[in-house]
Amino acid sequence: VPRVFTYPELHEATKGFSKKIGSGGFGSVYEGVLPDGSRVAVKRLENSNQGRRQFKVEVKVIGSIHHKNLVRLKGFCSQRPCYFLVYEYIANGSLDRWIFKAKAAAAALDWDTRFRVVEDIARGLAYLHEECSTKVLHLDIKPQNILLDESFGVKIADFGLSRMVEQGEMSTVMTMIRGTPGYMAPEWLQLRVSDKLDVYSFGIVALEVATGLQALHTCVSCETSPRFLAAWGYMKLRAGEMVEMVDAKLRKEIYESTSRRSQAERLLKIGMWCIQPDPRQRPRMVEVVKMLEGATPVMDPP
């Protein structure tokens, strides 16, 4: 159960908020150490309506759920003027650092690790959608919100935009569009919200992990990295060359092993299914888990 921290405790733990390890629209994240020696990440939310709302949502959502692929909320502090959330510290940082940013670090993630990362994300989302007493829609799945522990196990983080929906309720209507361009399904524009939004974002992330390219790739001049992964995926699928989409650094691994090759094809096809424009054609996350495990065959996407 998350505990209540005082402001002085957090000030002490973070040495006066001296080591910033991340920042976003919500505020900043600092590294800290509690008196028992455990490392924590302390998120300071701005004192705005948005900040207060995110604080309440995160405490309510993450405080009540437990799964090995979801980041654990250790506690919080709501002493004005700031709101703080205290999480377990996740050693290897966010997924984007390992698949896009540093060329040196990216080499460290081999195919088997990448495939396991995608499976972990799928399991975490399947739990949120189907196994919680109240269904949780994350609504901001992207590599920056996927954290990796010391053994590259996944911890899904940042539930500030998430929504809780009664199980059985198919969708809910939002009052405003939130999320990150490139990872947002087309039906966001009608403000229809269902678990299929997370499925779409997951599909984009799965394709990014396999290819090492970003969804809205800014490199316009490179022939091999079109602006949208989806368009490229369809082109390669029709040409029967899906495996060529895999990150160039991993191709040797893939081509040398039949099992990895079929795994790569499976993962890429699942990614394509998840980003179907019609949400009804996208699989549920529990089905995605079965497909990734090889328990359910994966047909060619339409």
Of the residues 36, 96, 140, 195, only one is catalytic, namely 140
Dihedral class, residue 290 (left if φ above 0, else alpha if ψ from -120 to 50, else beta): alpha
Please, what is the angle between helix 258-274 and helix 285-293, to 10°? Answer: 170
**Is 96 known to be catalytic?**
no
Task: Please name the residue that has the structure tokens 């990734």.
Answer: 292
User: Is there a binding annotation on residue 74?
Assistant: no
Q: What is the 3-state secondary structure (H, E, C) of the chain?
A: CCEECCHHHHHHHCCCCCCEEEEECCEEEEEEECCCCCEEEEEEECCCHHHHHHHHHHHHHHHCCCCCCECCEEEEECCCCCEEEEEECCCCCEHHHHHHHCHHHHCCCCHHHHHHHHHHHHHHHHHHHHHCCCEEECCCCCHHHEEECCCCCEEECCCCCCEEECCCCCEEECCCCCCCCCCCCHHHHHCEEEHHHHHHHHHHHHHHHHHCCCCECCCCCCCCCCCEHHHHHHHHHHCCCHHHHCCHHHHHHHHCCHHHHHHHHHHHHHHHHHCCCCHHHCCCHHHHHHHHHCCCCCCCCC
CA 178, CA 266: separation in Å to the nearest integer? 30
Please enumerate, by residue number, every residue annotated as part of a binding site. 43
Residues designated catalytic = 140
